[in-house]
A and B are shown apart, each in its own frame.
Chain A
Amino acid sequence: MNWMAWTELTAAFFSVIAVILVCMTVYEIKVPCTERKGFLPISTTRGDRLFIGLLSSAYIHLAFLAFTELSLMIALALSTIWLAVLLRWG
Chain B
Amino acid sequence: MNKITNNKAWWLVLPVFLLVAFSAIVPIMTVVNYSVQDIFDQNTAYFVGAEWYREMLRSPRLLDSLLRQFSYSFSVLLIEVPLGIAVALMMPAKGRMASVSLILVAIPLLIPWNVVGTIWQTFSREDIGLFGWAVNSIGIDYNYASNASDAWFTVLLMDVWHWTSLIALLCYSGLRAIPEAFYQAARIDRASSWAIFRYIQLPRLKSVLVIGVLLRFMDSFMIYTEPFVLTGGGPGNSTTFLSQALTKMAIGQFDLGPAAAFSLIYYLIVLLVCYLFFTVINLQDKAK
Mark A residues whose CB is within 8 Å of B: 2-7, 9-10, 13-14, 29, 42, 51-52, 55, 58-59, 61-62, 65-66, 72
Contact = CB atoms under 8 A, between A and B. Distances in A.
Nearest to A56: B272
A42 B29 CA distance: 31
B47 A5 contact: no
Q: How large is the interface on B (under 10, 10 to 19, 20 to 34, 35 or more residues)?
A: 20 to 34
B58 A55 contact: no
Looking at chain A's contact residues, the main secondary structure is helix
Interface of B: 7, 26, 29-30, 32-34, 36-37, 39, 42, 45, 47, 49-50, 53-54, 57-58, 265, 268, 271-272, 275, 279, 283
Contacts of B26: 4
Contacts of A55: 268, 271-272, 275
Contacts of A6: 33
B50 A42 contact: no
Given A5-B45, A42-B279, A62 B265 contact: yes
A51 B26 CA distance: 20
Contact of B47 (A2, A7, A65, A66): A7
Given A6-B33, A55-B271, A62-B268, 20 more contacts: A2-B42, A3-B42, A5-B33, A5-B37, A5-B45, A7-B37, A9-B47, A9-B49, A10-B32, A10-B33, A13-B32, A42-B283, A55-B272, A59-B268, A62-B53, A62-B57, A62-B265, A65-B53, A65-B57, A66-B57
